[in-house]
Amino acid sequence: MQLQGKVAIITGASSGIGEATAKKLAADGVKVVLAARRASRLNELKREIEKAGGEALVVETDVTKAKDVKQLVEQTRATFGPCDILVNNAGIMPLSYMKNLHVDEWLKMVDVNVNGVLHCLAETLPDMVERKQGHIVNISSVAGREVMVGSAVYSATKFAVRALSDGLRQELAPKHGIRVTCIEPGAVETELTETITDDELMNDIQGFFKDLKFLASEDIANAIHYAISQPDSVHINELQVRPTSQG
């Protein structure tokens, strides 16, 4: 697919994988819409993209709030036109032992990682269906295939993202020409682990992180770019990308 001039909404663009994806797509002529809560980080990224010759729009968005997401899609339409590519990337990962009852974090994870995706789908699907085109990229995880001790709720949200991707693909691709790609990263060096507050678990998983050579956010941005730049007739359903050092 020719990406030049396409419009992409990227949630969670204020850091990590979302930020790297915004830069990668903008460098290829995509008009990128940067969505997250930290507006100052998004504005900094917009300046960087524009300095490099790209086009970007910032819409401060909390994906758990339906009215924010509605405004995100409306502002996108008004500024750049309808959304061609939706990258559902915003997510949090406060891993914890279930017995330690971090209940607020469980619910928040479901809200951001699952409900956030649903809000974005609800606002972008009508235009995509009407135009019979579009590409939805959902960021699941290796944890959306395997559960580890401490990842029960996070994995539940990422299994859900994978299930959603499968259902969307079956419904939307053959009849409506809308492609759906589920990306499943392994360990990527980002700010994601900063949401972990369970010290007992954090202490126990240090060994897992110790010998890992993490992926860079750009490695996942490259995978997303690969999936969306295929010809219309080619549908990349799933990509699992791990660091070589991760088993």
> Can you tell me which of 30, 69, 93, 125 binds ligand NDP, judged by CB under 6 A?
93
Contact code string over 170-209 relative to ligand NDP, x by CB under 6 A: ---------------x-xx-xxx-----------------
> Can you tell me which of 45, 58, 73, 89 binds ligand NDP, judged by CB under 6 A?
89
CA neighbor of 236 nearest in space, from 225, 247, 227: 227
Q: Mark whether 226 is an active-site residue.
A: no
- Which of 73, 114, 142, 154 does the annotation list as catalytic? 154
Question: According to the binding rule CB under 6 A, does residue 85 interact with ligand NDP?
Answer: no
Structure tokens at 46: 């917009």
| The 31-36 sheet, strands edge to edge | 55-60, 31-36, 7-11, 85-88, 134-139, 178-185, 238-241
Q: How far is the CB of 176 from ligand NDP (least distance, A)?
A: 25
Question: According to the binding rule CB under 6 A, does residue 37 interact with ligand NDP?
Answer: yes
**238 by DSSP, 3-state: which?**
strand
Number of chain positions touching ligand NDP (CB under 6 A): 28
Task: Show contacts with ligand NDP in window 228-247 (CB under 6 A).
Answer: none
Question: According to the binding rule CB under 6 A, does residue 94 interact with ligand NDP?
Answer: no
Helices 66-79 & 116-131 angle (0-180, nearest 10)? 40
Comparing CB distances to ligand NDP, the nearer of 90 and 137 is 90
Question: According to the binding rule CB under 6 A, does residue 96 interact with ligand NDP?
Answer: no
Cα separation of 213 and 194, whole Å?
18
**DSSP character string of 7-21:** EEEEETTTSHHHHHH
**DSSP character string of 33-56:** EEEES-HHHHHHHHHHHHHTT-EE
CA neighbor of 135 nearest in space, from 175, 87, 67, 188: 87
Cα separation of 166 and 143, whole Å?
16
**174 by DSSP, 3-state: which?**
helix
Question: According to the binding rule CB under 6 A, does residue 17 interact with ligand NDP?
Answer: yes
> Can you tell me which of 24, 56, 58, 64 binds ligand NDP, judged by CB under 6 A?
64
> Can you tell me which of 2, 5, 38, 103 binds ligand NDP, judged by CB under 6 A?
38
Give the residue numbers marked as catalytic.
Answer: 154
Binding site for ligand NDP (CB under 6 A): 11-12, 14-18, 36-38, 61-64, 89-93, 112, 139, 141, 185, 187-188, 190-192
